[in-house]
Homo-oligomer: A and B are copies of this chain.
């Protein structure tokens, strides 16, 4: 059974390579550059091989999104751990969130913007996403007041998400970014 084991190992490795290639290509040249042909060339296999691993391009993007979610969760956790004052923690977390979105726009898009069918707000949402959400929620707990923590977190998160996406699409003047972020944090922590 060792041969079959090797096969499966190689197959898993190849799957990992596909996701990695998609992620790198998206981060360096944007999602428009991520085509199935290009991806196939990158992993040095033919196009149809992709479809023996994933249902379609969307599924590959979803895999990238899940991975990226893990990264986001890690960065949020780091920001939370570094802060001492609860209010400051919220500000730092917000800053970390925005920084992530700015630094890795393609990854952020995969997670939140692109129409990639991932189960999100449900039981079988990927654990990475749940972790990211939990980091946010824990940071916000001290300032949630009487509001339902989950809804409160989602609302604050929406604020961050709105700031990030509207600014990146040129819908908001970049110059006032800091000011807007400060207003959002202030209004949710006072």
Interface on A for B, CB 8 Å cutoff? 112-113, 115, 117, 119-122, 147-148, 150-152, 154-155, 157-163, 165-166, 169-173, 176, 179-180, 183-184, 187-188
Contact = CB atoms under 8 A, between A and B. Distances in A.
A139 B17 CA distance: 52
Contacts of A117: 170
Nearest to A159: B159
Contacts of A173: 121-122, 154
Given A112-B171, A187-B188, A176 B159 contact: no
Given A120-B171, A188-B187, A158 B154 contact: no
Contacts of A163: 155, 158, 162
Contacts of A115: 169
Contacts of A157: 162, 166
A71 B162 CA distance: 21
A119 B173 CA distance: 11
A23 to B, nearest CB: 20
A159 B155 CA distance: 7
A173 to B, nearest CB: 4
A40 to B, nearest CB: 24
Contacts of A113: 113, 165, 169
Contact of A159 (B120, B148, B184): B184
Nearest to A147: B183
A156 B120 CA distance: 24
A120 B167 CA distance: 10
Nearest to A122: B173
11 contacts: A112-B171, A120-B170, A120-B171, A121-B170, A148-B176, A150-B176, A151-B183, A158-B159, A158-B163, A161-B162, A162-B165
